[in-house]
Amino acid sequence: MTRMSVPSWRRFLIAAVASISRCGSAALMAAGALLLTGCFSIPGHPDDPQDPECLKHAEFGAPEDSPYVLPYPVGSAYKVFQTYCGPVSHGKDGQMSIDFLMPLGAEVVASRAGIVRQVTDRFEDFGRRFNAIYVEHEDGTAAFYGHLKQGSSRVRVGDHVVAGQVIASSGASGTSLEHLHFGVASSWPPRRPDDVPVNFRNSQGALDERGGLRRGIEYRALAEGLE
């Protein structure tokens, strides 16, 4: 049992109530969409400490060996406002997910080659439900790109995508703060809890001692690793 300070509990309860009220209808969506659930990505409490239970599973390899590139185009740089093992706004099922502060309409690219398995594209920014794209990779894992802009998808279910290919624009569907929620499920369709720790082979920016991305740090997407 993890011990939390009283202020942490208070923040947790506030966030939980906000999430439930915000995401009531989203909870009716497909089980797959619920895993890594974007609806918990309210602009919560990025200052909360990382969950020690989660950290036991947070093992990152060397970034240069990662099969993933940052989910935005080479040359652009965005700040992480919530990283893996954040205890509040991602819940237990999306704890390895990362939130990038990306403005409305910024290009989102495939982080890894694969086949598009699900596209949700119809929900408006700052509404109750979120748009998302799932891409299944050759090893059976599946990337989740969440809070995408309404109507911005450039791919369809069944399409093959390559790393670095533009797939949509970032938005604020299902959230009150424009950002991209990125996570990787260990299987498709996802089971819960199911997501895996990832870092990126073309990121420029300081990683933490585990090799994971750090909250509050801006990461630039380099061309190396994309050829």
CA dist 180 and 86 (Å) reads 16
Fill in the per-residue mask, 74 to 113: x = in contact with Zn ion (CB under 5 A), - = not in contact. -------------------------x--------------
Smallest distance, Å, CB 221 to Zn ion? Answer: 19
Q: Give the pair of three-digit tokens for residue 164.
A: 């670095």
Smallest distance, Å, CB 227 to Zn ion? Answer: 30
With contact defined as beta carbons under 8 Å apart, do 220 and 204 qualify? yes
| C-beta of 181 vs 215, nearer to Zn ion | 181
Smallest distance, Å, CB 81 to Zn ion? Answer: 9
Q: In the set 19, 37, 41, 202, which binds Zn ion (CB under 5 A)?
A: 41
Smallest distance, Å, CB 31 to Zn ion? Answer: 18
Task: Pick the closest to residue 197 from 184, 207, 182, 179 (CA basis).
Answer: 184
The count of chain residues that interact with Zn ion, using the rule CB under 5 A, is 3
181 contacts Zn ion (rule: CB under 5 A): yes
Buried b (16+ CB within 10 A) or exposed e, 151-176: ebbebeeebebebbeebbbbbbbbbe
Residue type at position 36: L
Q: What are phi and psi of 77, to 5 degrees?
A: -145, 135
Which range, of 25-33, 72-80, 103-111, 181-189, touches Zn ion by CB under 5 A? 181-189
Residue type at position 117: R
CA dist 38 and 123 (Å) reads 13
Q: Give the pair of three-digit tokens for residue 94.
A: 């999306």
175 contacts Zn ion (rule: CB under 5 A): no
| C-beta of 184 vs 222, nearer to Zn ion | 184
Sequence-ordered alpha helix ranges (H) in the chain: 6-23, 31-34, 52-55
203 contacts Zn ion (rule: CB under 5 A): no
Residue nearest Zn ion, CB atom distance:
41
Which range, of 2-10, 123-131, 176-184, 194-202, touches Zn ion by CB under 5 A? 176-184
Smallest distance, Å, CB 138 to Zn ion? Answer: 25
Which range, of 22-30, 33-41, 114-122, 153-161, touches Zn ion by CB under 5 A? 33-41
CA dist 90 and 84 (Å) reads 9
Smallest distance, Å, CB 90 to Zn ion? Answer: 6
With contact defined as beta carbons under 8 Å apart, do 148 and 173 qualify? yes
Residue ranges that bind Zn ion, judged by CB under 5 A: 41, 99, 181
